[in-house]
Amino acid sequence: MNTIVIVLAVAVVLLALVAIAALILVVRRTAASGKPSGPSPEQLAETKAEMNEELERARQEAEEIRAKAERDAGEILKRSESLAEVAALSRKEVEEESRLHKNELKELRSDLERRENRLGEREQRLDEEARRQADRARKLAETETELADRREELDRVAEKRRQILQRVAGLTAEQAKSELVKEIENQAKREAALIVRDIESEARKEGEKRACKIVTLAVQRVATEQTAESVVSVLHLPGDEMKGRIIGREGRNIRAFESTTGVNLIIDDTPEAVLLSCFDPVRRETARLTLERLVLDGRIHPQRIEEAYERSREEVRELCVRAGEDALVEIGITDMHPELVTLLGQLRYRTSYGQNVLKHLIESAHLAGIMASELGLDRELVKRGALLHDIGKALTHEVEGSHALIGAEIARRYGEHEDVVHAIEAHHNEVEVRTVEAVLTQAADAISGSRPGARRESLEAYVKRLERLEEIAQSYEGVDKVFAMQAGREIRVMVRPDSVDDIQAQVIARDVAKQVEEELTYPGQIRITVVRESRATEFAR
């Protein structure tokens, strides 16, 4: 309000100044005209008009000043009201903050009280636990004392028992010790068999279900034909007179042929046929092609034999390369070192227990790839390991050592992945298995070699293996009869029920299986079944 009063006073002063300025202007004009001091009516009218104009302008300025003053006053009032609202809000915020601080203090105080209560309870529990520990320590001390007394008593009993056994059985201390060790060992085996049976029954429920699913799916999707081969090749001749040409004058041709090819040429009474014998299948195939060329040409002499041998050797090499490339195409592998491809193709002429090795590798790669897909592994890597796991068999007649280690060294030399190398060297457990890929390679190799019709063995080796299986099972105490069944893939062990209980039967089955694994070499797996049968017979009269 004080500001409004000041503004109005200033406006009045300005009006007075304007009126004074108008009078001074009139006086100056009168003096300049040189006329009498009394103004004329016209001058008065002009002066009045000018004064009215000046007054009007002054009034307008005053109105503007007044309007501005009112606006300023309104703004001042609004600001004062805003300041009052701000002051009220600040006061409310201060009150709210103080109220929150009070609530926080109350909560902190209650929290502290709860913590103090919990600490008190914890101290009480610790005191009770300390008392229980003290009681337990006292009981343990008493138990140790009691155990020491019982141990002394058992030692006395054992000494008396030892003396009695020595008197009754005439056994020395060492003999009694060995008997006791044997008894303890048997008891430990029984307890271990119980634990193993429980663990196996729990793991077998899930493991067998999934393993059987994966393996059967892989086997069902792979079907590879098998052919039985031997170390002898037969070449049919157009006539028996050709045998004389092959032998040559004084055996010159046959000696040149055998020295050039390194293959034994057998000419016997078989009509229109000769035999080629050699343990190296590639060399035997080369010799067969050489002799076939010579027979077709009809000209047989040492120089011609050498020429035909060189051409046949190159042809066999091309066939090996083509066979290796065909195997890669069938498996779906695109890149491999040329030397590995050649060695892989040479296995086309190699057999193992009558099973073609190259076909075995292709089948194993298919099986391993299918199982890898089921398990979510790198299918390409697993298939390479399975395809190359027997690559060392192409050089076993040239390099000393196991074909697994030889094949691993070859694969490492030609830049194969380390997991592939490990799968090759570990597929016969000559190196400890460290990767899942190596386990799948072992599984695929076993499936391909053990399925019915895949492999065969000689009658003599078959009979010896069956006899040894029966001897191993018969050597255990309590065994009554042993039967080797299903071509040596299962052993039925009949035990005496009065000498062997159910737990001991499990121990015998496990021991027989372990000894068979250590002593015999066989494809696939052998089941050991221990049968314990009790019969009660009565007659009604």
Work out the average pLDDT over 274-279.
81
Picking from 443, 432, 349, the residue whose alpha carbon sits closest to that of residue 389 is 443
AA letter at 210: R
Q: Positive or negative CA dihedral for 233, 238, 244, 245? A: negative
Q: Which of 27-36, 387-396, 460-469 has the highest mean pLDDT?
A: 387-396
> Average pLDDT for residues 61-81, to the nearest whole number?
76
Which residues, 6+ apart, have CB-to-CB distance to 496 below 8 Å?
A: 478, 479, 480
User: Taking a C-beta distance cutoff of 8 angstroms, is the pair 321, 199 a contact?
Assistant: no
Angle of CA points 188, 193, 197, to nearest 5°? 155
- Out of 1.10.246, 1.10.3470, 3.40.630, 1.10.3210, the CATH code matching 232-450 is 1.10.3210
258-263: average pLDDT? 86
232-236: strand order across its sheet: 232-236, 273-277, 264-266
Average pLDDT score over residue span 353-367: 82
Q: Quick one: pLDDT at residue 316?
A: 85
Q: Please tell me the distance from the alpha carbon of residue 499 to that of residue 288, in angstroms, as a whole number.
A: 63
Provide the pLDDT for residue 288. Answer: 87
Residues 6 or more apart in contact with residue 233 via CB below 8 angstroms:
275, 276, 277, 284, 285, 287, 288
Confidence at 396, pLDDT banded by 50, 70, 90: low
Considering only 116-130, 225-239, 394-408, which range has the smallest mean pLDDT? 225-239
- Of 154-158, 450-454, 455-459, give the range with the top mean pLDDT: 154-158
* The pLDDT of residue 187 is above 50: yes
Choose the weakest-confidence range: 55-64, 109-118, 234-243, 379-388: 55-64
Q: What is the pLDDT of residue 418?
A: 92
Q: Give residue limits of the domains in the chain.
A: 1-104, 232-450, 459-532
Res. 94: pLDDT tops 80: no
Give the up-direction half-sphere exposure of residue 179: CA atoms within 13 A in the CB hemisphere: 10
pLDDT of residue 198: 75
Torsion angle defined by CA atoms of residues 125, 127, 132 and 138, in that order, rounded to the nearest 10 degrees? 170
Could you please state the CATH topology (level 3) that the domain comprising 459-532 is classified under. Answer: Alpha-Beta Plaits (3.30.70)
